[in-house]
Amino acid sequence: MARVALDLLGGDGAPEVVADAVAALDLDALDIDLVLVGPPTLAIELLAARDLDIAEQPRLTILSAASGVPMDGDPLAYVRAHPESSVMVAAGAVSAGQVDAWVSVGHSGASVAAAVLSCGRVDGMSRPALAVVLPSTLSPVVLVDVGASPEATANVLTQFAMAGWCYATALGITDPAVGLLNIGSETGKGDSLRVAAHILMQDRLPALGVRYAGSVEGHDVASGARAQVVVTDGFTGNVLLKGIEGAVGWAAQQMALAYGDPRPARAVVTGTATGDFAAGMLLGVNGITVIGHGAGRPNEIAACIRLAARAAKTDLIGLTQRTFSTLLERIK
Amino acid sequence: MARVALDLLGGDGAPEVVADAVAALDLDALDIDLVLVGPPTLAIELLAARDLDIAEQPRLTILSAASGVPMDGDPLAYVRAHPESSVMVAAGAVSAGQVDAWVSVGHSGASVAAAVLSCGRVDGMSRPALAVVLPSTLSPVVLVDVGASPEATANVLTQFAMAGWCYATALGITDPAVGLLNIGSETGKGDSLRVAAHILMQDRLPALGVRYAGSVEGHDVASGARAQVVVTDGFTGNVLLKGIEGAVGWAAQQMALAYGDPRPARAVVTGTATGDFAAGMLLGVNGITVIGHGAGRPNEIAACIRLAARAAKTDLIGLTQRTFSTLLERIK
């Protein structure tokens, strides 16, 4: 059983779309206790409108929170000043041990800030990183960071590599190889950040028992042959992730024309969007935090909840903490 | 009529694959005079093996060059020390006015170096940029830089924006809007480079008559709705381009399974790879330089040659020079 808190107020279509997602879940089959975080009266009304009586749902409870986070302004300043906001209440519930994980499809910067403030960073991880799992040809590929930390150093990228390796391992990928996203596979390729990161990873990762595959390129992300964890800064990773989403959508349109039938193409796109792909796992914080697409539809929100529960049943946080503590011992 | 020089010795499958491409071209129909650059004896032998007698082909000539460029080592140092290398001879033929454009599918760093050394940079353009045209949903999209200059400043990105606008205009895209590739469309989003570049572009581009669309995201590249020129540093652009290639290949595999027939999916991938997409135009040098995919197949090389001829028939270089000279006047 996993206990998952869900932000009722985050996302482009919130709170209606979040309520739609909740109404469609089979919590018994998923073995999830769900805690909806938002104004209780609103939550009860929204669920009642979907023929859900919370009093009759032992696996569904409400945790009171006053407000969402506005899309403009500084999210860190906002959540710091608003402990009653839904993201702070949800992340706080993880920190307090009331739930095992939390999910938001709202303002991702605010979710990152709430997770860092409430749960704290893993010792040795100087910045958080958002990881997604891409459904690549040969193996799922963990891409990290897709936007939590747009500026990185070689040391930060090496931390992302370790955190991504822990995540892939927790997801059941055996002995994942870590690749540095670059623009050529030869040593010395790339910008100065990549040159420095390559040297550091080459030195540090094997000493921690992590296989380092060296530099990989953009197309390797779609194959999974060379590395099952691909590491980059949050700027490049976010551009790449959205570029892949756009390219898959474009290809689906072309295929629909080429085959004269849009339905199978649409099914591929929907299947991808509602898999683990839809959900970002925030790495480097001491609490399982899943951040979904702001434009999330109900089945994408459901994918986020399933991933949160799956991670809660593994020892993601413990594995990450132990790996970083080994590193800190070594470099002391 | 356009006169195009083609590097016989560059590319993973060179010289055979280049000879295959030449043998398959209908130069009369394309209205191209082709100059093959490499060792004459080798060229004649390769063509003869493909039933082509150069003496009977008035539109096909040979320009003697001794060697290609090795894939390892410093390409700039190599081409500087080897004026007899095929890329230096081909770029030199453009500079001397013997041909209107040149094409190589070899070592792209060496081609960039040869173009800069032989043709010189456009005044006001401090670094060259490689641009590709993506076949997006609503309009072709020029993506610049895809790898010539992995490190950029705000000033360099603004130069890339202007050069990309000139290229899109020369290709016949009317009044193209320029977008800055970023990780959110709100002001203040992105890393420090993007924040600075946004401010500079907002100030400079409209003054030059260039529409500035502000920040765009990875998925906008596949749609073409918000901007028809998308500007980024060569690191991010290279990762994105290869990521899109990988994603389209992945999607084609999934579609082939979903539809139970791989042929239409393969046709979409091949059609994309052999369109203008296959060919990078080097911007910011005083000579039309087309750099293709190193793994180029004959029909991809043919696409590069067609693009070179098309650019030669427009006034790409003149338009670029005039645009930068207007800028230099303004900021004097």
CATH of A126-279, one of 3.30.910.10, 3.40.718.10, 3.10.450.50, 3.40.50.800: 3.40.718.10
Q: What is the ipTM of this complex?
A: 0.93
B1-120+284-313 maps to CATH 3.40.50.970: no
Inter-chain CB pairs, A–B, below 8 Å: 161
SS3 state at B286 = coil
Model confidence at A52: pLDDT above 80: yes
| B74 to chain A: closest CA residue | A188
| A134 to chain B: closest CA residue | B247
* Chain B positions in Cβ-Cβ contact with residue A259 (cut-off 8 Å): 255, 259, 261, 264-265
DSSP state of B218: G
Bin A106: left if φ > 0, else alpha if -120 < ψ < 50, else beta.
Answer: beta
Query: How far apart are the CA of B190 and the nearest CA of chain A, in angstroms?
Result: 7
Task: Extract the tokens encoding A155.
Answer: 């040391």
User: What residue type is assigned to position A228 of the chain?
Assistant: Q
**Can you tell me the distance from the alpha carbon of A182 to that of A215, in angstroms, rounded to the nearest whole number?**
6
Cβ(A102)–Cβ(A287) below 8 Å: yes
B168: nearest Cα among B283, B329, B321, B324: B283
Place of tokens 């020079």: B321
Q: Do domains A1-122+284-311 and A126-279 have the same CATH topology?
A: yes
Q: Do A268 and B253 touch (CB under 8 A)?
A: no
Q: Residue by residue, what is the 3-state secondary structure of A264-283?
A: HHHHHHHHHHCCHHHEEEEE
* Chain B positions in Cβ-Cβ contact with residue A136 (cut-off 8 Å): 250
Query: How far apart are the CA of A329 and the nearest CA of chain B, in angstroms?
Result: 32
Q: Do A222 and B249 touch (CB under 8 A)?
A: yes
**Can you tell me the distance from the alpha carbon of A50 to that of A29, in angstroms, rounded to the nearest whole number?**
19
Place of tokens 């052999």: B274
Place of tokens 């330089």: B289
Quote the mean pLDDT of chain A.
93
CATH H-level, domain B126-282: superfamily: Isopropylmalate Dehydrogenase (3.40.718.10)
Model confidence at A276: pLDDT above 70: no
Close Cβ partners of A270 (under 8 Å, ≥ 6 residues apart): A299
Residue ranges of the domains in chain B? 1-120+284-313, 126-282
* Chain B positions in Cβ-Cβ contact with residue A264 (cut-off 8 Å): 255, 258-259
Task: Extract the tokens encoding B48.
Answer: 């003869």
Query: What is residue B276's predicted lDDT score, i.e. its pLDDT?
Result: 66
Query: What is residue B188's predicted lDDT score, i.e. its pLDDT?
Result: 78
SS3 state at B9 = coil
**Can you tell me the distance from the alpha carbon of A7 to that of A68, in angstroms, rounded to the nearest whole number?**
9
Burial class (CB in 10 A: 0-12, 13-18, 19+), B321: middle
Topology (CATH) of A1-122+284-311:
Isopropylmalate Dehydrogenase (3.40.718)
Q: Do A150 and B191 touch (CB under 8 A)?
A: yes
Query: What is residue B295's predicted lDDT score, i.e. its pLDDT?
Result: 72
Q: Do B240 and A243 touch (CB under 8 A)?
A: yes
Task: Extract the tokens encoding B138.
Answer: 């609503």
Q: What is the pLDDT of residues A223-271, one digit of tens each?
A: 899 999 999 999 999 999 999 999 999 999 999 998 999 999 888 888 7
Place of tokens 């940029």: B129
Model confidence at A97: pLDDT above 80: yes
Element (H, E) at B171: none
Query: How far apart are the CA of B235 and the nearest CA of chain A, in angstroms?
Result: 7
SS3 state at B292 = strand
| B222 to chain A: closest CA residue | A246
**Can you tell me the distance from the alpha carbon of B269 to that of B250, in angstroms, rounded to the nearest whole number?**
10
Q: What is the pLDDT of residues A154-208, one digit of tens each?
A: 999 999 999 999 999 999 999 999 999 999 877 778 999 999 999 999 999 999 9
Q: What is the pLDDT of residues A149-159, one digit of tens each?
A: 999 999 999 99
Cβ(B16)–Cβ(B317) below 8 Å: no
Q: Do A183 and B243 touch (CB under 8 A)?
A: no
**Can you tell me the distance from the alpha carbon of A188 to that of B27, in angstroms, rounded to the nearest whole number?**
41
**Does residue B266 or residue A113 have the better pLDDT?**
A113
Mean pLDDT for A260-289 is 87
DSSP B66-132: -B---SSS-HHHHHHH-TTBHHHHHHHHHHTTS-SEEEE-S-HHHHHHHHHHHH-BPTT--S-EEEE
Cβ(A268)–Cβ(B267) below 8 Å: no
For the CA atoms of B296, B302, B304, B307, the dihedral, rounded to the nearest 10 degrees, stands at -160
Residues of chain B falling short of pLDDT 50: none
CB-closest option in B150, B219, B258 to A243 = B219
Place of tokens 């927790």: A170
Q: Do B221 and A246 touch (CB under 8 A)?
A: yes
pTM of the model: 0.94
